Amino acid sequence: MPRSLRWLLGVAVVAAAGTFTAGPYVSAAAFIARAADLPGAPATLAAWTASPVTAPATAIVPTRYGEVPGRVYRPANGFSRTIVLVPGVHRDGIDEARLVGLAQDLAATGYGVLTVAAPDLQRYRITPLVTDVIEDAVYWASEQRELAPDGRVGVLGVSFSGGLSIVAAGRDSIRDRVAFLLSFGGHGDLARVMHYLCSGEVVGDMARARASRVVMGAGNVEVHPPHDYGVAIVLLTMAERLVPPEQLGPLLAGIEGFLLASSLDMVDKPRATAEFARMRTYADALAEPSRTLMRFVNDRSVKELGARLLPVVDALTNHPAMPALSPEQAPVAPAAPVFLLHGADDNVIPSIETVLLGEYLQGRTPVTGLLSGLITHAEVDRAPTASEAWRLASFWRQVLAN
């Protein structure tokens, strides 16, 4: 980050600490400094306000589909509210490095944190079972008095878990057990997102999005070309509709290998390179049409693969499963305040999803939204300006007040 921007951000963060000594702005600014790993004055503030965090403890969370592993992060100085933190589509689940970092940052801010990953999301599948697992995990956490003294918890869903968490939070079993809910890079309508991932087009009212009364930064809404990772996940979900039954297993294995390599590419380049090469060789041995579909995946040919998928995806708009997968189609909205945070330039789930969802929820539940230039898909990792940092800290102040 340029030195001048570091200095400006430092001024903004320290000003927040000096002006709002009652705590929420200080906590929010310090949390942003920790999450973005900022140097200088922000780092000093983050260290000054951070609560020591105990070693995470393993939890076994019962669900209607069996037990799933969880992990509990506790501030050493105690806490009054726990956040159930649900990762998005990633094979590592609660062990994914960025999720672990987020859990630790939230715990250092004074929250208890329970991380729980739905098994289907670890298999790169977005299904109604994920929504059920989130519902069951929130219910279980709210029943544990050491985690939820008042019988309520916060919920933070990352990526596709953000939208699914909103659906779950409207269900009768937990509707009164959710203190607040944050969707971080989430969706409002799954069919609309899949259409975007296959075509680069958003089926939505862009004019209404830019005039949004709910989401700060909505005037900056732009639609970017979709990421190849997203369309590969769509293919994984829809593969059974495109290939004969005997080809389904081998094609799914190839797509999962590509997604594994994509995940490794952020942490282990040599291993990722080897896995990408293996998937190219693997594709050559597949029968048609799987061979062509897998080659599109390997070549990151979003346009060609998307064209094959688009008719199948668009046929799902009114599928019976959509109310369990799309907040805008859910029978009931949450009762708790909903916070929507999205990267302005997101090309996995486009930021217009947060804007349209915010407009939909207005009048149904308290809702606050922010499009931030500091965020990519679901990670604070952009070089900040003072104004962007201030807006993000102001947003988090509102979240942390619950």
> What average pLDDT does range 77-102 have in this prediction?
92
The answer on pLDDT for 238 being more than 60 is yes
Summarize pLDDT for 27-36 with one digit per residue, the tens.
Answer: 544 455 555 5
The answer on pLDDT for 359 being more than 80 is yes
The answer on pLDDT for 280 being more than 80 is yes
Mean pLDDT score across all residues of the chain: 86
The answer on pLDDT for 399 being more than 70 is yes
Domain 57-221+337-400 indexed as CATH 3.40.50.1820: yes
- Give the three-state DSSP class for 96: coil
What is the rounded distance in angstroms from the CA atom of residue 347 to the CA atom of residue 104? 27
More confident residue, 355 or 376: 355
pLDDT of residue 296: 98
Task: State the helix-helix crossing angle for 386-400 and 24-35, rounded to 10 degrees.
Answer: 120
Task: State the helix-helix crossing angle for 97-108 and 24-35, rounded to 10 degrees.
Answer: 160
> What average pLDDT does range 19-26 have in this prediction?
44
Q: Give the amino acid at 84.
A: V
pLDDT of residue 37: 53
The answer on pLDDT for 80 being more than 80 is yes
Token pair listed for 305: 């693969």
Q: What is the CA radius of gyration of the chain?
A: 21
Ordered by start, the domain boundaries in the chain are 3-49, 57-221+337-400, 228-314
Q: What are the b/e assignments for 177-203, b being 16+ CB within 10 Å?
A: bbbbbbbbbbbbbbbbbbbbbbbbebe
Q: How far is CA 64 from the centre of its chain?
A: 23
What is the rounded distance in angstroms from the CA atom of residue 179 to the CA atom of residue 82? 10
If we measure between CA atoms, which residue out of 376, 370, 398, 32 comes closest to residue 183? 370
Summarize pLDDT for 45-57 with one digit per residue, the tens.
Answer: 445 455 778 889 9
The answer on pLDDT for 340 being more than 60 is yes
Q: How far is CA 125 from the centre of its chain?
A: 14
Count of H-run helices and E-run strands, the chain: 16, 9
Summarize pLDDT for 166-211 with one digit per residue, the tens.
Answer: 999 999 999 999 999 999 999 999 999 999 999 999 887 776 777 7
Please, how many CA atoms are within 13 Å of residue 16, restricted to the half-sphere of its CB? 32
The answer on pLDDT for 84 being more than 80 is yes
pLDDT of residue 15: 39
The answer to pTM > 0.75 is: yes
> What average pLDDT does range 270-289 have in this prediction?
97
Summarize pLDDT for 106-160 with one digit per residue, the tens.
Answer: 898 889 999 999 999 999 999 999 999 999 999 999 999 999 999 999 999 999 9
Pick from 175-179, 379-383, 390-394: least confident = 379-383
